[in-house]
Structure 1
Amino acid sequence: MCSVSAQNNGIEDIEVQKLRIENTITQSEFDTQRGDYFSAKTNLETALSLAIKTEDKQNQGIIYAKIGKLQFLVNEFDKALVSLTKAAEIQRDINDSQNLAVTYSIKGILHAGKEEYKNALEYLNSAKTLFEEQNLEVNIPEITLNQAKIHLQLKDYKTAKSLLEKTIVLAKKNNQNNILSDALIYSGKALDKLGNNKQGITLANEGLEIALANQLTENINKGYVTLSDIYQNDGNFEEAYSYLQKHVKLSDSILNIERASLSPEKRAEFIESYNAAEFQKLQKKVEDQESDSNLAKITTILSIALITILSLLTLSLYKNNNIRLKSNNMLQEKNDDLIEAMKKAELASKTKANFLSTVTHELRTPLYAVTGLTNMLLEEKPNPDQIPHLKSLKFSGDYLLTFINDILQINKIEANKVELDPVLFNLKTKVENVCSALNNSALDNNVQMHYEFQKDLPETFIGDNLKISQILINLIGNAIKFTKDGDIWVRVYSISNNGDDHTLRFEIEDNGIGISKEKQDNMFESFSQGSIQINRKYGGTGLGLSIVKGLIEILKGKIYLKSELGKGTTFFFEIPLTYAPETVKIKKEDYSKNISNLDISNIKILIVEDNKINQMITKKILSKMNLQCDIVDNGEDAVEKVRENDYNVVLMDIHMPGISGLEATKIIRTFDKELTIFALTAVTLEDKMHEFDEAGFNDIISKPFKQEDFEKKLYEVLANDHNTKASSIN
């Protein structure tokens, strides 16, 4: 009876231990789902100890596989491979084919994560074969899904599509919503790559709906980014941007949770508790030794000291490499994460452009009032003692406008939105004009300008003369700013030519303060002038050289720098230009006088502007040109005014309360296609131009505008209107 009782107790103990193992494994799975990977790992190690103690080989294999999967999730690929290899060895020894298939499946995913696609497919095929031998059809959809993902990475879209179709059928049959959702989303991606965008959108949306209905966060995120990509390829950028925003928002939430789970505090807590436990185990083991020899005592002391040192060293190394650990976690993301990061970068670029557009609009609107009022006051014969103050105000306004324009220029260059505008021009005259325009500034610093143009070099070329002027103005302006009581040489010559195609070198040399060797490497970066002291002493935005480099690269050229501190600086850039015959010089016109020569007795202009100061300034400019105007301060009234009156020109502000200038113009175009409507706006980014065209604007006048440009555009419209009427009378 006693023997039977003991056997029964032994059986019960084994069953209890198995139950404990299963419960601990279950707890680790809950921890993994919560993202608490360290607790999950601790529970799995506890379960593994119990399985080894009870010689439970099957659970040992299962646990090693789960540990490997967990290590893979936290990007410990090498450790994961070791754990999975141990699992496979045990499972092959005991012929546990079902769990061996699971291990092979995880190894396949691991190799795919390391971009070892051949090995990945081999393990996944082995897993699929084992599942089929065991009649475990329910496990096959996950295998075919992962195989399809690999073929997508290999750009074998037809094979991927075929595997995904099998996955969808099996997942529906087995009610596996997670796999079904994932397979539909990836099918959308495959069809998009095969050129069937519409069907791709349909399937991706179907997968996203299943994910949303079942709160499958990862699949929802995949759905968002996949639909964003497909819509972008389809040319529907509005929808693409909308889904990209959703994706980034959800990604940030997921990332915050992962950061909390994998935070430095969690790692430190785990390491510290682990080392403390190991220390106690070893200390107890040493204390239990029966030998009291000197060697044993020394071993005890040394062992305890060694463990203590290792514990402290581990924590110390962790703290010293805190930033590196967090960086590695981000850098070791899988391929999908890399794509997501690229999408985030793209969104960041768009966000920056929108931010700059908004901020510059907010800055340029009041700046329009500052520069406009200042110019008006200077023209109205102010008191002599007021003139210096007004000139200082004008200088400050012009400086701020230059700074804003520089920021916009940098933004356009970085966004690849600067387009070339090649025209026929006289290069020699162009450089002479730039030098002449800057000569007064040079004389203020007691600097002499010297201009050398190669004698036998042709003078007229085809190229973007405005960008060349901007480059020269920046470089010569810099030379003047950093030179006092010295000289500046501007040289232009050809370094090579093939028929009419020349490579020209421009040199701007000064004998000013120079640039130290350590500062030269950063001179072409934004907001860089060498030092804070230089910024304060000489002023400037620190954006000029960055703009210069960007423009020269757009012109397919190169720029170089040679300088020595205290001895001066030479900037030289090389650009290709094509010779062309002499061009006709265009005489500068006084459009204000030209307008006065027209019959403007019946001219009607409508100003649509909600800012009272801007209303006054615009009206003052028109009055100076002897033009009469009406003013309204919102889009609704603008539409009614146009219905009731016969205007020649409408100056339409864009940002107003109620309906915007864009909406008002769209409404006007429904009943008046011929009326000239100018967008009077502070928004200047090119990515807004299509909106103005679609709304029906004839042209854009950017605020704050140059009065000459404003007069020129009005003159062209009014002169054309006058000629049309004259011709109809004849």
Structure 2
Amino acid sequence: MKHVNLLILDDKEENIISLSALLSEVDHINIISSTDPNEALKICWKNDIAIALVDVQMPEINGFEFVSLLKSNPKTNHIMAIMVTAISKEDRYLLKGLESGAVDYLYKPLHPEITVAKVTSFVRQIHIQEEIKQKNIALEESQRQLILAKEEAEEARRSKESFLANMSHEIRTPINGIVGIIHILRNTPLNNEQHDWIKRLDNASNSLLLIINDILDISKIDSGMMKIEYENFSIRKKLMDIDNFFKIKALDRNLAFEMDIDPQLPEYIRSSPIRIQQIIDNFVSNALKFTEEGKITLQTSVVDQAASQCTIKFTVTDTGIGIKPEAIEKIFLAFEQGDDGITKKYGGTGLGLAIVKRLADLLHGKIEAKSAYGEGSAFSFQATFEKVDNFRQEETIDTTAISSLHKFDNVRILVAEDNELNSFMLVHILKSWGCEVDVVKNGRIAVEYINQHDYDLIMMDTHMPVMSGFEAIQEIKAHPNPHKANTPIITISASVLQHEQAAAYEAGADSVIGKPFDPLDLYQKIDKLISKRV
């Protein structure tokens, strides 16, 4: 424990000697003495004095004046002053000492036990104050570190978000071109072999997109950017769609796919149909991947039911290779699979079940895995959902073939896109719909073209050199010519981040389409926007 500096000020040396001897039994003090008040003031200024025992009656400067001088100086006003006096114990003298700044009195002749007890008490008080001071310093440092950590975490989040946006754009942009070319080729005369090539190319591009979506999903969930969008939907219809899709997939692998639905399952629930399907799809896809013979079963059972809520359990069982007991927990970790040999034989990123685990948490549900190695596995997802009596069906997207869509009449479109494959694909699709198309490679040239020509619609990529799509949109919407300023604009965004898509609308875009996009979706957006234009 740190020693406390204690000053004894008395004009008589013998008093100092006797008081020092008396206080020698007090622990953790360092005694400094003086018979001269002026010298004592200098000692207080230069040394870290904590307690001062001050004689009241002294020539030149009395004890009251000395304490007043201590308390008037910022360097010494913290010192605890104790008056030592042989004069009357009348209240007026006590008040005078306290008014000067003293904290207590000792009366001569000094009572040894009282004197030691009082000084010990004040030493303990100083140690407590010092401890509090150090804790406050530590607390301030901790708060500073927390603020710094928060700032670093926020910076890391922004960096991760920026990385996601850039990666999404850089990867999805070429995939958009590939998917677009596939759509174009599918609507041209092809022989059977070429149709097979297109089918294989389509499957490969879809597989690549699934892997990219997995990576982006896990990144969005871990950074807290994934939001669950709730809506009313038919859980039975969703299950039938899953059944229809995977029956064909299973048949291709000579496997049986069966579905068992609990008769008590409600028709409609409120949740996220996309995320529920993502969880079930992952379970079934894994079952297909790791099952070479036998069957796969999707069972939906009602675990508990109340007036407005229903707890549902979705279980996918297979007769596949199974999982070793020690690997069960490992499979839910990102970039992990139950066995390194599985990666070599079956491939995959090892992200699927990690995403499922996080999605289950976001849906306030739980997942469970059971397996008998070499015999098969069962994966389940259980959550409680709100039951819905009825709701208005969402409008379904027209699935008419691209080749049978009616052509636009006298429509001129400006495409601002720096990726040559994407611009080539877009121009081809737009021209197949009867549109006249101009192409530019950045936002600055797009603005120049708008100044020189009239367009019925603008398609603007968000990320371009020289001037971004957002900057170009803002300039166009601020055009002095109202006709040009009101030209409808569709932004082409490869970002999966909602705030970036929202930023497009804030900049003035009339619609947003993602990469890769569905040509039918693009057609409907164009048709809707140009039909509104006067």
TM-score (normalizing by structure 2): 0.71
Query: Helix, strand or coil: the match of 2:330?
Result: coil
Q: Any conservation in 2 of the 1:680–1:700 contact (CA below 8 Å)?
A: yes
- 2:520 aligned with 1:708, yes or no? yes
Task: For residue 669 of structure 1, report the CA deviation from its aligned partner.
Answer: 0.8
- 2:327 aligned with 1:519, yes or no? yes
Task: For residue 364 of structure 1, report the CA deviation from its aligned partner.
Answer: 2.0
Task: For residue 428 of structure 1, report the CA deviation from its aligned partner.
Answer: 0.9
- Structure of greater relative contact order (alpha carbons < 8 Å, 6+ residues apart): 2
Q: Which residue of 1 aligns with 2:258?
A: 450
- 2:178 aligned with 1:370, yes or no? yes
Alignment counterpart, residue 694 of structure 1, candidates 483, 503, 506 = 506
Equivalent residue letter for 1:589: D
Q: Which residue of 2 aligns with 1:396?
A: 204
Query: Helix, strand or coil: the match of 1:628?
Result: strand
Q: Any conservation in 1 of the 2:70–2:76 contact (CA below 8 Å)?
A: no
Q: Which residue of 1 aligns with 2:229?
A: 421
Q: Any conservation in 2 of the 1:591–1:712 contact (CA below 8 Å)?
A: no
Q: Any conservation in 1 of the 2:493–2:501 contact (CA below 8 Å)?
A: no
Task: For residue 713 of structure 1, report the CA deviation from its aligned partner.
Answer: 2.3
Q: Which residue of 2 aligns with 1:579?
A: 388
Alignment counterpart, residue 414 of structure 2, candidates 606, 612, 620 = 606
Q: Which residue of 1 aligns with 2:493?
A: 681
**d(CA) in 2 for partners of 1:700, 1:139:** 70
**d(CA) in 1 for partners of 2:375, 2:315:** 16
Task: For residue 648 of structure 1, report the CA deviation from its aligned partner.
Answer: 2.6
**d(CA) in 2 for partners of 1:464, 1:424:** 8
Q: Over residues 683-712 of structure 1, what are the superposed CA-to-partner deviations in whole Å (9 max), with x where a residue is unaligned?
A: 221232342122111222122222233233
- Write the mapping of 1:159-308 to structure 2, written as runs, cut at 5 A: none
Q: Any conservation in 2 of the 1:98–1:134 contact (CA below 8 Å)?
A: no
Q: Which residue of 2 aligns with 1:664?
A: 472
Q: Any conservation in 2 of the 1:595–1:625 contact (CA below 8 Å)?
A: no
Q: Any conservation in 1 of the 2:4–2:30 contact (CA below 8 Å)?
A: no
Q: Over residues 155-174 of structure 1, what are the superposed CA-to-partner deviations in whole Å (9 max), with x where a residue is unaligned?
A: xxxxxxxxxxxxxxxxxxxx
Task: For residue 528 of structure 1, report the CA deviation from its aligned partner.
Answer: 1.8
Q: Which residue of 1 aligns with 2:83?
A: none
Q: Which residue of 2 aligns with 1:380?
A: 188
Task: For residue 375 of structure 1, report the CA deviation from its aligned partner.
Answer: 4.1
Alignment counterpart, residue 372 of structure 2, candidates 545, 550, 564 = 564
Task: For residue 441 of structure 1, report the CA deviation from its aligned partner.
Answer: 1.9
State, as a whole percentage, how many aligned pairs show the same letter: 30
**d(CA) in 1 for partners of 2:430, 2:437:** 8
Q: Over residues 60-111 of structure 1, what are the superposed CA-to-partner deviations in whole Å (9 max), with x where a residue is unaligned?
A: 9799xxxxxxxxxxxxxxxxxxxxxxxx96653346866874899xxxxxxx
Q: Any conservation in 2 of the 1:635–1:660 contact (CA below 8 Å)?
A: yes
Q: Any conservation in 2 of the 1:91–1:97 contact (CA below 8 Å)?
A: no
Q: Any conservation in 2 of the 1:514–1:564 contact (CA below 8 Å)?
A: yes
Q: Which residue of 2 aligns with 1:352?
A: 160
Number of residue pairs matched by the alignment: 423
Equivalent residue letter for 2:224: N
Q: Which residue of 1 aligns with 2:112?
A: none
Query: Helix, strand or coil: the match of 1:358?
Result: helix
Q: Any conservation in 2 of the 1:98–1:131 contact (CA below 8 Å)?
A: no
**d(CA) in 1 for partners of 2:433, 2:203:** 25
Query: Helix, strand or coil: the match of 2:410?
Result: coil
Q: Which residue of 2 aligns with 1:635?
A: 443
Q: Which residue of 1 aligns with 2:337?
A: 529
**d(CA) in 1 for partners of 2:333, 2:77:** 55
Q: Which residue of 1 aligns with 2:462?
A: 654
Can you give the 5+ residue segments of structure 2 that lack an aligned partner in the other structure? 6-25, 34-42, 52-66, 79-139
- Structure 1 pair 591–660 and aligned structure 2 pair: CA distance change class (3 A): farther
Q: Any conservation in 2 of the 1:101–1:131 contact (CA below 8 Å)?
A: no
Q: Any conservation in 2 of the 1:131–1:139 contact (CA below 8 Å)?
A: no
Q: Any conservation in 2 of the 1:483–1:511 contact (CA below 8 Å)?
A: yes
Q: Which residue of 1 aligns with 2:398?
A: 589
- Structure 1 pair 591–62 and aligned structure 2 pair: CA distance change class (3 A): farther
Q: Over residues 267-290 of structure 1, what are the superposed CA-to-partner deviations in whole Å (9 max), with x where a residue is unaligned?
A: xxxxxxxxxxxxxxxxxxxxxxxx
Q: Any conservation in 1 of the 2:172–2:516 contact (CA below 8 Å)?
A: yes
**d(CA) in 1 for partners of 2:418, 2:251:** 44
Q: Over residues 245-267 of structure 1, what are the superposed CA-to-partner deviations in whole Å (9 max), with x where a residue is unaligned?
A: xxxxxxxxxxxxxxxxxxxxxxx
Equivalent residue letter for 1:609: E
Q: Over residues 545-591 of structure 1, what are the superposed CA-to-partner deviations in whole Å (9 max), with x where a residue is unaligned?
A: 12222222222222122222112111111222223226547555135
Q: Any conservation in 2 of the 1:496–1:504 contact (CA below 8 Å)?
A: yes
Alignment counterpart, residue 342 of structure 1, candidates 150, 165, 188 = 150
Q: Over residues 670-691 of structure 1, what are the superposed CA-to-partner deviations in whole Å (9 max), with x where a residue is unaligned?
A: 1355322111122221232342
**d(CA) in 2 for partners of 1:569, 1:535:** 18
Task: For residue 617 of structure 1, report the CA deviation from its aligned partner.
Answer: 0.6
Alignment counterpart, residue 717 of structure 1, candidates 525, 529, 532 = 529
Normalized per residue, the structure richer in helix is 1
Task: For residue 638 of structure 1, report the CA deviation from its aligned partner.
Answer: 1.5
Q: Any conservation in 2 of the 1:635–1:664 contact (CA below 8 Å)?
A: yes
Task: For residue 652 of structure 1, report the CA deviation from its aligned partner.
Answer: 0.2
**d(CA) in 2 for partners of 1:462, 1:365:** 34
Alignment counterpart, residue 549 of structure 1, candidates 327, 352, 357 = 357
Query: Helix, strand or coil: the match of 1:629?
Result: strand
Task: For residue 481 of structure 1, report the CA deviation from its aligned partner.
Answer: 1.0
Equivalent residue letter for 1:629: V
TM-score (normalizing by structure 1): 0.53
Q: Any conservation in 2 of the 1:474–1:548 contact (CA below 8 Å)?
A: yes
- Structure 1 pair 503–432 and aligned structure 2 pair: CA distance change class (3 A): same
Q: Which residue of 2 aligns with 1:20?
A: none
**d(CA) in 2 for partners of 1:626, 1:582:** 39
Query: Helix, strand or coil: the match of 2:332?
Result: coil
Q: Over residues 525-560 of structure 1, what are the superposed CA-to-partner deviations in whole Å (9 max), with x where a residue is unaligned?
A: 211221221122112222111222222222222212
**d(CA) in 2 for partners of 1:459, 1:343:** 47
Query: Helix, strand or coil: the match of 1:604?
Result: strand
Q: Over residues 422-480 of structure 1, what are the superposed CA-to-partner deviations in whole Å (9 max), with x where a residue is unaligned?
A: 33322111111112112222123222111111113321223221221222111111111
Q: Which residue of 2 aligns with 1:93?
A: 31
- Structure 1 pair 510–91 and aligned structure 2 pair: CA distance change class (3 A): same
Normalized per residue, the structure richer in strand is 2
Can you give the 5+ residue segments of structure 1 that lack an aligned partner in the other structure? 1-59, 64-87, 105-129, 142-221, 223-332, 726-730
Q: Which residue of 1 aligns with 2:220?
A: 412
Equivalent residue letter for 1:362: E
Task: For residue 489 of structure 1, report the CA deviation from its aligned partner.
Answer: 1.3
- Write the mapping of 1:27-42 to structure 2, written as runs, cut at 5 A: none
Q: Any conservation in 1 of the 2:413–2:437 contact (CA below 8 Å)?
A: yes
Query: Helix, strand or coil: the match of 2:331?
Result: coil
**d(CA) in 2 for partners of 1:103, 1:711:** 84
**d(CA) in 1 for partners of 2:245, 2:493:** 29
Q: Any conservation in 2 of the 1:591–1:715 contact (CA below 8 Å)?
A: no
Equivalent residue letter for 1:558: K
Query: Helix, strand or coil: the match of 1:446?
Result: coil
Task: For residue 593 of structure 1, report the CA deviation from its aligned partner.
Answer: 6.3
- Structure 1 pair 336–567 and aligned structure 2 pair: CA distance change class (3 A): same
